[in-house]
Structure 1
Amino acid sequence: MNLTLNNICKKYGSHTVLEFDEWKINSGIYWLKGGNGTGKTTLFRIISGQTPFEGTVLLNEINLKKQPTNFRSKISYAEAEPQYPLFVTGKELLNFYAAIRKASQSDIDSLTDLFEMTAYLNQKIGDYSSGMLKKLSLICVFIGDVSLYILDEPLITIDTASADKLYRLIIEKSEQGKSFLISSHQEIDAAKLKVDGVFVIENKKVMIC
């Protein structure tokens, strides 16, 4: 996996959030640190094709702007605060993801069992607690076969046991050759997850720590 961002500029009105010449990473697990308002979510939304920007983003030489469908098929993005239609059930949402990403039911069953969500799939998402909603979003992000997983604050609102399961799942996928970009206010437990690089956004640029 090779991800390259060149000549990136992102503004909201007259406010510049990100502006840098180049940022490049290869295969691995990477942690993006930083507090609220530093631009972490904006960076992730750029890479996942969720927001317009100036510049170039390449994943394995696939250009996001020139080949958006192909590019997005290689990435799975879990937002910090997931928002889904409140009137659908968890099962309906997972079925949608399975159809789009051509995933097997056995893979979905394994994920829902892992995060102990199977018993709640027939409930409407509007009835979910914040922890259940977060676990549902993590199940969604791991459905299908992609090159790069982007996890924005994956540790918030989940309990320690679920966090440990997430760590193990990240390691398992990494051993299969998948790569990760993870943001977290909380310290990532180095005893449970070894990262290949740590970055922070300073002065609108992505810097290595």
Structure 2
Amino acid sequence: MIRLALHQIDKKYGNHAIFSFENWQLDHGIYWLKGGNGTGKTTLFKMIAGQTPFEGSLILNDISLKNQPVNYRSMISYAEAEPQYPAFITGNELLKYYLDVRQAKSEDSRSLVEALGMANFMDQKVGSYSSGMLKKLSLICAFVGDVQLFVLDEPLITIDTAAAQVLYQVINARHAQGSSFLLSSHQELEMNHLPIKQVFQIVERQIQPC
């Protein structure tokens, strides 16, 4: 179960303010941040994942990102909207890296590799992958290990309908085991497939419920 709290947040790129809000808090659940490109979804997710600087405080389960960054990041798995990896490594080499870092067993990952139709491509170099294959690989790696909060940026783009159904099943299974999710999408999520707790949007540098 999670307790995520953002306080006194300010984020700028140069003189351009992206966010300026006092508080945003979430507990256990699956949350959807909706909106088109350029609204700040990816910036917010990178802030929560500890990948971009900002002013303010971010605390997950009483662990501060700024005071305990290693412990904080160990509780989060972040998957980018458009993942990029070194072209010379194979899918299996990347997956092994995630397994080693998170000290996880390979069984669950292997079943997801099969379910997403990636088994025949994992020994190929990532540079030969299509955008859909890269997206599937990023999702496979994101679900490695026991993670408190999954932050998935546009998880549905470039994947086919069958892969989307697999993704819904994995999200539901992990949610039932106690993990929480932040999902962004400019596409409509199939609400009948996921128990979305709340939907948010970014309006004038603020995060607002829809």
Q: Identify whether the pair has TM-score above 0.5, normalized to the shorter chain.
A: yes
Deviations 1:44-102 (A, max 9, x none): 00000000100000000100000000000000000000011111000100000000001
CA distance in 2, matches of 1:154, 1:173: 15
SS of the residue corresponding to residue 81 of structure 1 reads coil
SS of the residue corresponding to residue 88 of structure 1 reads coil
Deviations 1:9-31 (A, max 9, x none): 01000100011000001000000
> 1:36 is matched with which residue?
37
Runs of 4+, deviation exceeding 6 Å: none
Q: Residue 103 of structure 1: CA displacement?
A: 1.0
| Equivalent position amino acid for 1:75 in 2 | I
CA distance in 2, matches of 1:91, 1:159: 22
| Equivalent position amino acid for 1:13 in 2 | G
> 1:102 is matched with which residue?
103
Q: How does 1:12-23 map to 2 (within 5 A)?
A: 12-23=13-24
Runs (5+) with no aligned partner, structure 2: none
SS of the residue corresponding to residue 154 of structure 1 reads coil
Q: How does 1:119-198 map to 2 (within 5 A)?
A: 119-198=120-199
CA distance in 1, matches of 2:74, 2:186: 28
> 1:91 is matched with which residue?
92
> 1:50 is matched with which residue?
51
CA distance in 1, matches of 2:155, 2:205: 23
Q: Residue 191 of structure 1: CA displacement?
A: 1.6
Q: Residue 174 of structure 1: CA displacement?
A: 0.4
CA distance in 1, matches of 2:162, 2:180: 23
| Equivalent position amino acid for 1:206 in 2 | I
CA distance in 2, matches of 1:188, 1:101: 29
CA distance in 2, matches of 1:114, 1:140: 14
Deviations 1:147-206 (A, max 9, x none): 000000000000000001100110000000100000001101012112000000000010
Q: What is the TM-score with the length of structure 2 in the denominator? A: 0.98
Runs (5+) with no aligned partner, structure 1: none
CA distance in 2, matches of 1:185, 1:208: 16
| Equivalent position amino acid for 1:87 in 2 | F
| Equivalent position amino acid for 2:125 in 1 | K
Percent of aligned positions with the same letter in both sequences? 57
> 1:71 is matched with which residue?
72
> 2:201 is matched with which residue?
200
Q: CA RMSD in A?
A: 0.6
CA distance in 1, matches of 2:201, 2:16: 19
SS of the residue corresponding to residue 80 of structure 1 reads coil
Deviations 1:114-169 (A, max 9, x none): 21111101100000011100000000100011100000000000000000110011
